[in-house]
Amino acid sequence: MQAGFIAGVMLNETKTSGYQTASAPTTAPDAGTFALIRFAPQASADDVTKFLETNKLSIASGPAAGGLYKVRVAVTGIPKAELARIVKKLQEDKVVGFIATTE
């Protein structure tokens, strides 16, 4: 009886359509406003995590050449002046080694 139950569960699991994740829905990869960032060499993983959470940033891709990450600053487009203000504020954090806006 146990073998029949296990076989039934396994057969039902294989009826799902393709790969499924257990994570929350994500924003489209190209949606939003982005910046390129390199974290300071002395920044720990905990420092980086706190920095991202505090500033409501998410890593969209990376690391790329030179240790650069593409981070989502906003899920929508924002005016260039606002993005420049945000990037300037982020530059002041000790976790940031380099940051620049992207086009």
pLDDT tens digit sequence for 64-74: 999 999 999 99
Report the pLDDT value the prediction gives residue 20, as an integer from 0 to 100. 56
Distances (CA, A) of 15 to 7, 50, 98: 13, 40, 48
Residue 49 inside a domain? The answer is: yes
Residues in the chain: 103
> What's this model's pTM, rounded to 2 decimal places?
0.68
Query: Which structure tokens are listed for 48?
Result: 């980086």
Residue 2 inside a domain? The answer is: no
The mean-pLDDT minimum among 29-33, 46-50, 54-58, 95-99 falls in 29-33
Domain of residue 46 covers 27-101
Highest mean pLDDT among 40-44, 61-65, 80-84: 40-44
DSSP-assigned letter for residue 72: E
Find the mean pLDDT for residues 82-87.
Answer: 92
Q: What CATH number has the domain bearing residue 69?
A: 3.30.70
Find the mean pLDDT for residues 51-58.
Answer: 94
Residue 96 inside a domain? The answer is: yes
Q: What is the residue type of 51?
A: F
Structural domains of the chain, count: 1
Find the mean pLDDT for residues 90-103.
Answer: 92
Backbone angles phi, psi at 53, to 5 degrees: -65, -45
Residue 67 inside a domain? The answer is: yes
Find the mean pLDDT for residues 28-38.
Answer: 81
